[in-house]
Amino acid sequence: MFLKLTNYNHNHRYLFLLVKPNNTSTMTVISISEKPGAGSSTTAKLLAKKLGIKHFSPGRVFKDIGLGIVKKQYYYPLLKELCEEKKLEIPLLSATNDSNAVTSFWKTPLGKSKELHNILDELSNNLARKDNIVIDGKLAVKLVKKSDLRVWLEASLQIRAKRTSKRDSINQQTAEKLILEREEKERKEWQKIYGFDYFNQKEEADLIINTSKISPEQIVEKIISTLNIQTSRN
pLDDT of residue 232: 80
CA 148-153-159 angle, to 5 degrees, is 165
CA 217-41-171 angle, to 5 degrees, is 100
| Rg (the chain; Cα; Å) | 18
149-185: pLDDT as tens digits: 999 999 999 999 999 999 999 999 999 999 999 999 9
* pLDDT at 20 > cutoff 80: no
pLDDT of residue 205: 97
**To the nearest whole percent, how much of the chain has pLDDT over 70?**
88
Of the CATH numbers 3.40.50.740, 3.40.109.10, 3.30.429.10, 3.40.50.300, which one belongs to the domain with range 2-233?
A: 3.40.50.300
> Is the distance from CB of 153 to CB of 219 less than 8 angstroms?
yes
Angle between helices 216-233 and 40-51 (to 10 degrees): 60
* CA distances for 195 relative to 42, 61, 114, 142, 147, angstroms: 28, 22, 12, 12, 21
pLDDT of residue 142: 96
Average pLDDT, the chain: 88
- C-alpha span between 108 and 150 (Å, rounded): 30
- C-alpha span between 83 and 177 (Å, rounded): 32
* pLDDT at 2 > cutoff 50: no
94-142: pLDDT as tens digits: 999 999 999 999 999 999 899 999 999 998 998 899 889 999 999 999 9
pLDDT of residue 4: 43
Q: Which residues pair with 210 in a beta bridge?
A: 154
Domain edges within the chain: 2-233
